[in-house]
Amino acid sequence: MWKLPEGTRFLQPEDRRAHFEPDGLLRGRVEFEEILAFHEPWRARYTLLRVFEGEIVAAACFEVREADLFVDYLLRNATFHRDARVLGASTLLGALEGLCRVLGRPTIRLECVNDPRSLSWYERVGFVREGAPYDRPGWGFLHPMVKRVQ
């Protein structure tokens, strides 16, 4: 039986009291309230969290669709600081890959903001660009990307 990796869990009611500020280019574009409101399991929309010592390190908001899993947001918490590196987005991505295998979804899709650092990270973890970038009002250019799950 599959289970979530250690340190990951789905959103819980008490998370509404947590302090979370999106890191990088998503700061100011995505509010924590949106991350909380995204979690609607009855609509196959989920918020998965990476938690370390009671603090939220990162969040993944995703939809389970007919043919794939679509990541709306994958965000690090800018307010989380530790002396040692704590994996956040990488851990959540691993959990999403496991979920894809269990559900029989062969791919994870997302749209990356026009940021060389973010694009490079997604490519390093196995995503490839899929189609041309497009301009979305309020976001700028977004790059459709896909990762095949083995």
Task: Kindly give the confidence (pLDDT) of every residue in the chain, 150 residues in length, as a single tens digit, with 9 standing for 90 and above.
Answer: 678 999 999 999 999 999 898 887 777 778 899 999 999 999 999 999 999 988 999 999 999 999 999 999 999 998 888 766 678 889 999 999 999 999 999 999 999 999 999 999 999 999 999 999 999 998 889 999 999 998
Of residues 20, 35, 21, 25, the one with CA closest to residue 118: 25
Residue 116's identity, in one-letter code, is: P
Owner of token pair 């490839």:
128
Chain mean position to CA 89: 7
Owner of token pair 């189609």:
131
Q: Is the dihedral of CA 149, 89, 5, 60 positive or negative?
A: negative
Report d(CA 71, CA 99) in Å as an integer: 13
Owner of token pair 């924590």:
32
Report d(CA 136, CA 39) in Å as an integer: 23
Beta strand 134-136 with 107-113: parallel, antiparallel or unpaired? unpaired
Domains of the chain, start order: 8-148 (3.40.630.30)
Say which DSSP state 66 is in: S
